[in-house]
Amino acid sequence: MNQSEFKNQFAEMVAEVEAALREYISVKGNPQKTIYEAMEYSLLCGGKRIRPVLTLAAADVLGVSREDVKPFACALEMIHTYSLIHDDLPAMDNDDLRRGRPTCHKQFDEATAILAGDALLNKAFELMSCSALKMNNPLHGLRIISDVSYLSGTEGMIGGQVTDLESEGKTVAETVLMHTYSCKTGALLKAPVYIAAEAGGLRLSANTHTGEFYEKYPLAEAFDEKVQRLLRYCEIIGTAFQIKDDILDIEGDTALLGKPVGSDEQEDKSTYVTLYGLTRCKEILSEMTEEAKGIADSFGEKGDFLREMAIYLLERNN
């Protein structure tokens, strides 16, 4: 598979996700119509759809039906979108543009934006729970909900957002920055693998939720080596994705990015660029991409899509 073939397949998968999202979110003609308009405005305004596409790709590698994971893939995108709505608020990143359009709070107002984010989060868990109940073994769906809750919560995405905010205006150690990237971006990029593995009933042991509240949860050891390799792949591209964002914030084009460049410098944020400089950042990004490509190659032909995705994320300009 070359990049041209990858992009065609990627576009097909995005279209598959978009069609499903439109089924799940539509404007209703009731008194609270505005909230549906705000949800739809933010959810269906484009975006790369990396997380749901990665869910479908992980299912392909693990031999799991796409139909079994698609609702959970869409729920991931809802969670990601809610986080973007809230990140853009004046109390957080205070951004006016997202994906080339006014942010939700600019298009509507701050209160509506907050509620739209809350509504998308609730819709995601409504979708996952309803889908779990329809599974042949609902326990698999319950574990997916547990995984996604953890990875999007205080030990995952939200935790990373907290340390990111607390790092503004100061120089932080690489360990803190790595932790932030691993949680803020990386955690939700590992969720696709857990979704596919749980949906396929690939957990090696049913007795892995014991002791302290998931102190090491989600346990990679609960799955075989193939799943663990996939998790490592997602961990790498999650960090690489954030490093690429740091680079684009310096070299990017607002028209292509759909959001202002230079915001990291304005907010005096520590990034990989401030720690290592632009040249070394590009070297680190290339090294990570090579490792991700190596993991993808270990899956044979089934890993072709993942290999090209690593290259695509390295070369992206938005």
DSSP string, 122-163: HHHHHHHHHHHHHSSSHHHHHHHHHHHHHHHSTTTHHHHHHH
**Is residue 211 in some structural domain?**
yes
44 within some domain: yes
- Residue pair 178/240 in contact (Cβ under 8 Å)? The answer is no
Mean pLDDT of successive 10-residue segments in the chain (318 residues)?
Answer: 92 96 89 95 92 97 97 98 96 88 96 98 98 95 93 94 88 89 91 96 66 50 89 92 89 66 68 90 94 97 96 87
The reply to whether the predicted model has a pTM over 0.75 is yes
The closest of 285, 258, 260 to 273, measured between CA atoms, is 285
pLDDT of 270 reads 82
Residue 214 is predicted with a pLDDT of 47
Q: Is residue 274 part of a domain?
A: no
70 within some domain: yes
In-domain check, residue 264: no
| pLDDT score, position 100 | 82
Tell me the CATH number at 113.
1.10.600.10
User: How many domains does one find in the chain?
Assistant: 1
> What pLDDT is attached to residue 212?
41
State residue 203's pLDDT score: 87
What local confidence, expressed as pLDDT, does residue 55 receive? 98
Task: Tell me if 307 is assigned to some domain.
Answer: no
Side-chain half-sphere of 317: how many Cα atoms within 13 Å? Answer: 6
Is position 12 within any domain? Answer: yes
In a domain, 61, yes or no: yes
The per-residue pLDDT for 250 is: 85
- Residue 258, classified by CB atoms within 10 Å of its CB into exposed (0-12), middle (13-18) or buried (19+), is middle
What local confidence, expressed as pLDDT, does residue 260 receive?
64
CB 272 within 8 A of CB 177: yes
Q: Specify the pLDDT at position 315.
A: 87
Of the candidates 88, 71, 209, 198, the one whose C-alpha atom is nearest the C-alpha of residue 127 is 71
Looking at residue 43, its pLDDT comes to 96
pLDDT at position 218, please? 54
Q: Angle of helix 66-87 relative to helix 187-199, nearest 10 degrees?
A: 160
Q: What is the pLDDT of residue 50?
A: 95
Calpha distance 140→202 (Å, rounded): 9
| Domain boundaries, position 218 | 3-227
